[in-house]
Structure 1
Amino acid sequence: MDSGRAMESRHLSVVIRRDRREVAAVAGDPERLPQWAAGLASGALRREGDALVVDSPMGEVRVRFAPPNDLGVLDHDVTLPGGAVVHNPLRVLAHPLGAEVVFTLRRLPGMSADAFEADARAVAADLERLRALLED
Structure 2
Amino acid sequence: MDSQHIGVVIRRPPDEVYEFASNPANMQRWAAGLAQSEVSREGDTLVTESPMGRVSVRFVGRNAFGVLDHEVTLPHGETVYNPLRVLPHPEGSEVVFTIRQDGIDEETFSRDAAMVRDDLARLRGILEEVSPLREDSP
Q: Please give the range of the TM-score, normalised by the shorter of the 2 chains.
A: over 0.9
For residues 1-136 of structure 1, the aligned pairs below 5 Å read 7-109=1-103, 111-136=104-129
Which is further off, 56-65 or 40-49? Answer: 40-49
Query: Offset of 1:26 from its aligned partner?
Result: 0.6
Q: Distance in 1 between matches of 2:40 and 2:81?
A: 20
Do the aligned residues in 1 keep the contact of 2:25 with 2:38 (CA within 8 Å)? no
- Structure 1 gaps of 5+ residues are 1-6
Q: Distance in 2 between matches of 1:105 and 1:48?
A: 26
- Give the ranges of 4+ consecutive aligned residues of structure 1 lying more than 6 Å apart after TM superposition: none
TM-score normalised to structure 1 length: 0.93
Query: Offset of 1:108 from its aligned partner?
Result: 1.6
Query: Offset of 1:44 from its aligned partner?
Result: 2.5
TM-score normalised to structure 2 length: 0.92
* Percent identical: 54
Matched residue type, 1:67: G
Aligned length in residues = 129
| SS in structure 2 at match of 1:33 | helix
- Structure 2 gaps of 5+ residues are 130-138
Query: Offset of 1:50 from its aligned partner?
Result: 0.5
